[in-house]
Structure 1
C-alpha cells in the first residue's frame, strides 16, 4: 500500500458528496450521536459497492444496462426526496425540545440508502482501485479488498470527524435562526444538485 493511495483516498473522502452532506445535516439537526450514526451508515453502504468492484459486477452495470439505469434513477429520486424534505421542514431546530431523539437505526438506514443508491460510487471503485492494484497482479482480489477496507476506514474516520464537529457547533448554529434557515436551504440545494448530477449519468 503506497503513500499515493493513502493521499488520494484522503482527498476523495474529504471531497463533499452525498455522504458528507447527509452526515453534516444529521449532526446539526440531531447532535453528535446522530452524526456518528450517519457516518457509520455511509461507511457501511460502501460494502456492496466494494464487493461489486472486486467481482467485476460494476463493469457490467456500467455498460448501459437497464439495472444500472434503474439504480441510478432510484438514487436520483431519493436525493430529490431528501432535498424536498429539507425545504418543507420549517419547524425551528432546538437543542433540547423535549422530543425523543431520532432512532439510531433510522439514521444508519438512511445513511446506507444515500450511498447505496448511488452507482457512481461503484463506478468510482472500478476506476480507483485498479490504479493501485492491477487486476492481473498476484493476489489481486485480496489486495483490492485490503485497499477497499482502508478506504472505508478513512471514510468512517473523516465522516465521524465531520459529525462530531457539526454536533459540537450545533448549539451555536441553532442559536441563529437565520443561519439555520440558510443551512437548511444549503443542504436542500446540495441534495438537489447531487441528484441532478446523478441523473445526468442515467441519460
Structure 2
C-alpha cells in the first residue's frame, strides 16, 4: 500500500509538470470545445495504457536499448507535435470554439491523442525508469506493473479532464475574439517549444 501511495504521489507531480499533452489539451479545449477535449484525453489515456503494457511485457525495453528504433520513434513524435502546434496556430483565427460534426471531431481528436502518446518515447521511458522503483521484488512483477500503469493513467486522465473543463469554461468568458486568437497561438507556440525540448531531452 505504501508503494502504491508513493507512486500515485510521484505520478501526480509528473503530470502536473507542463508537457506536450497539457499544451495540446488546452489548445483543443479552447478552440474545439469540451467534446473534442474529452475525445483527445481518452486517446491520450489509451496511448499511455498501451505504453505501460509494452513496458510491462518488455517491448519498451527493446525500443530503449535499440538506438535505431528509439530514434525513429523519437523524431516521429517530435515532428508530430510540431505539426499539431502548426495546426493549432493555423486554426487560431477560427472564431467558433465548437464544431457541429461532433462524431468527426471525436474520432479526429481521439486519434491525435493516441498517436501523440504512442510516438512519445518519454512515455515508455517513464514506465521503464520509474515503475521498477515501486515494485516489490518478492512478488510477481507483471500484476504490479499493470496496477501501477492503471494508477498512472487514471491520475493523468483526471488532471487532463480538469484542463478540459477549465479551458472550456475560460473560453466561454473570453468573448474577445482577438484575445482568443492570441491565447491559442501562445499555446501553440508553447507546444512547439515542448516539441523542441522533447527532441533535446530524449537525446541519448
Whether these two folds match at TM > 0.5 is yes
Structure 2 equivalent of residue 161 of structure 1: 162
Distance 1:123 1:202 in 2: 12
Query: Displacement of 1:188 after TM fit?
Result: 1.8
- Normalized per residue, the structure richer in helix is 2
**Structure 2 counterpart of 1:151:** 152
- Shift of residue 155 of structure 1? 1.2
> What is the CA distance between 1:128 and its match in structure 2?
1.1
- The alpha carbon displacement at 1:24 in A equals 1.4
Structure 2: segments with no counterpart, 5+ residues: none
Alpha-carbon displacement from aligned partner over 1:118-146 (angstroms, at most 9, x marks no partner): 01110011111111115x33111101111
Structure 1 portions without partners, runs of 5+? none
Q: 2:194 aligns to what?
A: 194
SS class of match (1:137): coil
The number of aligned residues is 200
Q: 1:88 aligns with which of 80, 87, 90?
A: 90
Contact 2:30 2:97 in 1 (8 A): no
**Which residue does 2:141 correspond to in 1?**
140
Give RMSD over aligned pairs.
1.9
The list of structure 1 runs, each at least 4 consecutive aligned residues, that deviate by more than 3 angstroms after superposition, is: 98-102
CA distance in 1, matches of 2:203, 2:48: 21
| Distance in 2 between residues matched to 1:89 and 1:32, nearest whole Å | 17
Query: CA offset at residue 159 of structure 1?
Result: 0.8
Q: Does the C-alpha gap of structure 1 residues 91 and 185 become closer, same or farther in structure 2, counting only changes over 3 Å?
A: closer
The change in CA–CA distance for 1:140 and 1:38 in structure 2 (over 3 A counts) is same
Out of 18, 21, 25, the position equivalent to 2:20 is 18
Contact 2:92 2:184 in 1 (8 A): no
CA-CA distance at 1:89 after TM superposition:
2.6
**Cα shift at 1:48:** 2.0
Q: TM-score, normalised by structure 1?
A: 0.89
Match of 1:68 among 67, 70, 81: 70
Q: Distance in 1 between matches of 2:78 and 2:92?
A: 23
